[in-house]
């Protein structure tokens, strides 16, 4: 099959939400519909009784939350589907934000009981910045929640996007009967509590239909027709162009846990979601239809298989065709690399592939050459842009609890911080290791993984710093003078770039004023995009 046809049949998307909105459960039901799995796991009361398919880290299994993006690939009805299930917890937002650079659209899950939540707003802001097409799935309609009209109004007001309902709920809570498909004018009924897709489809609008009265009740039917007529007047009709430009979101109602409304969501997604696009580089716009291969690394994972201590780089193919064992150009290192065992994924199950096309997310086994943001090409020097990097807000010193495991601890800290969710800094004298993150929960995950994957035990000692700033200067002597003068608050990152730790915004301003020839940057990616901290931001 030629390149254009391969691109057209691909759909690459992320599922995003506030924690506990039902994102991972929805992911599993889509896999269930697609035939990739036979029985879905269930998450109840934050305890996984049957471990969720897409949560493969041991800590995820114990806590019942996703803390790392999972990649799943399946073939369904002639389409190649790449699903990226992302962390919902705000402490792991970096992983989600980077994942959004590797997808062409998203499905946003909203809890019908809680409505729009803090992380929902932040995720939607990222989608709007990138003009990413968004579908919205309002989950947990089998619970007593908000009125559907109130929910849709809240979505428009809080997320600043027009909405177009594709389905409409028949009741809610204990009276929830299913969903009505506004496009097909059909009612979809499901039996609750099933892990397989048993369904009854009634293609009728006849209010006198005896089957409708039997399963739904006449009063519910009368209310349904009234609500549908009102919804037609209040909300936008669907426009594919506006959806693909990120201005209009199709909305679906249902219950992921009980399989309500999922087929309608999946079928519509496959019909209207965009196929893979190319990407922006510092040099030019890359089109997916180009014959020359290009792709970028958006995620690193150490110990995907703890038994083999392997390191996996996740790469999004942007253009051309990737081929196993072919030599590719690594633009940052300015050298050629070959990959003998590229992999596709079903969570932690991996399969070696021979080729991949735009939109595909593949895993590349790596010994430490690849970093987040790296570009691979057929030979052209390109640098994909827009991959976010954040300044850590919490800084803690690593305290070794078992001196006999020092080497294991050092290796573990080095590899886990390569993943991008935490950053490592070395402070002298004493070779002190400091880890910086944007959330407290990340320290729990690092500590857990160090013990269970590397056999190293540690604690973290809190430090009185609130911001890390990378330092550069055209006058190297001035930079050296500052490093010497501020040694107690200076450390070096993995690239040996000096970093200043600020105890407050006030102290940062004083230090900046004292060293006007030194530039302070919010992130380590200042060589790609300047983010000099301005006085008026302090």
CATH code for the domain of 244: 3.40.50.300
pLDDT at residue 269, as a whole number = 94
| 384 occurs within a structural domain | no
Residue 55 has pLDDT above 80, yes or no: no
Cα Rg, the chain, nearest whole Å: 25
At residue 461, the 3 state secondary structure works out as: strand
Domain boundary among 272, 294, 315: 272
Q: Are residues 85 and 184 in the same domain?
A: yes
At residue 269, the 3 state secondary structure works out as: helix
- Range(s) of the domain holding residue 142: 3-272
463-477 tens-digit pLDDT? 999 999 999 999 999
Greater confidence, 535 or 181? 181
516-538 tens-digit pLDDT? 999 998 877 643 333 333 333 33
What's the burial of 514, exposed, middle or buried (CB within 10 Å: 0-12/13-18/19+)?
A: exposed
Phi-psi region of 259 (alpha: psi -120 to 50; beta: other; left: phi over 0): left
Tally of structural domains, the chain: 3
Residue 415 has pLDDT above 90, yes or no: no
| 382 occurs within a structural domain | no
Q: What is the pTM of this model?
A: 0.79
Residues with Cβ within 8 Å of 124's Cβ and at least 6 positions away in sequence, in order, are 108, 134, 159, 160, 161
* Stretch 119-139: mean pLDDT: 90
Q: Which residues pair with 13 in a beta bridge?
A: 83, 105
Sheet holding 178-181, edge to edge: 167-170, 178-181, 186-190, 199-202
3-state secondary structure 498-519: EEEEECCHHHHHHHHHHCCCCE
Residues with Cβ within 8 Å of 99's Cβ and at least 6 positions away in sequence, in order, are 14, 69, 84, 86, 298, 299
pLDDT at residue 317, as a whole number = 96
pLDDT at residue 214, as a whole number = 76
Q: Are residues 46 and 138 in the same domain?
A: yes
Residue 456 has pLDDT above 90, yes or no: yes
Q: Are residues 182 and 283 in the same domain?
A: no
Residue 203 has pLDDT above 90, yes or no: no
Residue 493 backbone phi and psi in degrees, to 5: -85, -170
Give CA–CA dist 483/365, Å, rounded. 38
Find the helix or strand (DSSP H, E) in which 174 lies: none
CATH code for the domain of 484: 3.30.70.3280
Q: Are residues 117 and 61 in the same domain?
A: yes
| 13 occurs within a structural domain | yes
| 522 occurs within a structural domain | yes
| 388 occurs within a structural domain | no
| 172 occurs within a structural domain | yes
Domain boundary among 229, 247, 272: 272
Residue 335 has pLDDT above 90, yes or no: yes
Give CA–CA dist 361/195, Å, rounded. 28
Give CA–CA dist 319/334, Å, rounded. 20
| 385 occurs within a structural domain | no
Is the bond preceding 36 in cis, omega lying within 30 degrees of 0? no
pLDDT at residue 202, as a whole number = 57
Q: Are residues 241 and 314 in the same domain?
A: no
Q: Are residues 294 and 150 in the same domain?
A: no
* Stretch 475-499: mean pLDDT: 93
Q: Are residues 266 and 301 in the same domain?
A: no
Greater confidence, 507 or 415? 507
Instruction: Tell me if 481 sits within 8 A of 494, measured CB to CB.
Output: no
Percent of the chain with pLDDT over 90: 47
- β 178-181/186-190 pair status: antiparallel
Q: Are residues 14 and 102 in the same domain?
A: yes
Instruction: Tell me if 153 sits within 8 A of 251, measured CB to CB.
Output: no
| 63 occurs within a structural domain | yes
Give CA–CA dist 15/106, Å, rounded. 6
Domain boundary among 352, 377, 402: 377
């Amino acid at each position: 099959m030629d390149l254009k046809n391969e691109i057209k049949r691909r759909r690459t998307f992320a599922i995003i939400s506030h924690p506990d909105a039902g994102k991972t459960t929805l992911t599993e039901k889509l896999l269930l519909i697609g035939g990739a799995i036979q029985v879905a796991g269930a998450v109840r009361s934050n305890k996984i009784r049957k471990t969720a398919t897409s949560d493969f880290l041991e800590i995820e299994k114990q806590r019942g939350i996703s803390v790392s993006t999972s990649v799943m690939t399946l073939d369904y009805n002639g389409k190649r589907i790449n699903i990226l299930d992302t962390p919902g917890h705000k402490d792991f937002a970096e992983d989600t934000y980077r994942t959004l650079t590797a997808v062409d659209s998203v499905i946003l899950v909203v809890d019908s009981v809680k409505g729009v939540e803090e992380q929902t707003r932040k995720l939607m802001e990222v989608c709007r910045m990138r003009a990413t097409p968004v579908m919205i799935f309002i989950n947990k309609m089998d619970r007593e929640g908000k009125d559907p009209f109130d929910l849709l109004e809240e979505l428009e007001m809080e997320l600043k996007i027009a909405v177009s309902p594709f389905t409409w709920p028949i009741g809610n809570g204990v009276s929830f009967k299913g969903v009505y498909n506004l496009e097909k004018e059909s009612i979809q009924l499901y039996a609750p509590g099933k892990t397989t897709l048993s369904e009854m489809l009634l293609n009728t609008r006849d209010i006198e239909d005896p089957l409708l009265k039997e399963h739904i009740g006449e009063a519910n039917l009368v209310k349904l027709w009234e609500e549908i007529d009102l919804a037609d007047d209040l909300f936008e009709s669907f426009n594919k162009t506006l959806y693909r430009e990120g201005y209009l979101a199709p909305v679906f109602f249902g219950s992921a846990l009980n399989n309500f409304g999922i087929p309608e969501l999946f079928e519509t997604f496959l019909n209207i979601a965009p196929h893979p696009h190319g990407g922006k580089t510092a040099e030019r716009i890359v089109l997916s239809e180009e014959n020359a291969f290009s792709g970028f690394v958006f995620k690193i994972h150490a110990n995907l298989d703890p038994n083999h201590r392997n390191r996996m780089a996740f790469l999004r193919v942007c253009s051309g065709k990737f081929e196993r064992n072919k030599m590719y150009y690594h633009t940052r290192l300015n050298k050629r690399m070959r990959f003998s065992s590229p992999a596709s994924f079903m969570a932690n199950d991996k399969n070696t592939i021979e080729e991949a096309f735009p939109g595909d997310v593949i895993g590349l086994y790596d010994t430490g050459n690849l970093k987040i943001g790296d570009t691979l090409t057929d030979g052209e020097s390109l640098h994909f842009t827009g991959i976010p990097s954040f300044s850590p807000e919490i800084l803690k010193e690593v305290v070794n609890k078992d001196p006999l495991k020092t080497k294991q601890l050092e290796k573990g800290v080095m590899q886990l911080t390569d993943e991008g969710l935490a950053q490592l800094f070395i402070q002298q004298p004493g070779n002190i290791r400091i880890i910086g993150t944007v959330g407290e929960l990340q320290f729990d995950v690092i500590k857990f993984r160090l013990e269970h994957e590397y056999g190293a035990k540690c604690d973290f000692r809190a430090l009185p710093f609130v911001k890390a700033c990378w330092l550069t200067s055209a006058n190297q002597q001035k930079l050296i003078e500052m490093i010497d003068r501020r040694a107690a608050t200076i450390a070096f990152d993995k690239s040996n770039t000096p970093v200043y730790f600020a105890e407050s915004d006030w102290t940062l301003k004083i230090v900046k004023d004292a060293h006007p020839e030194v530039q302070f940057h919010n992130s380590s990616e200042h060589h790609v995009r300047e983010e000099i901290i301005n006085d008026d931001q302090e």
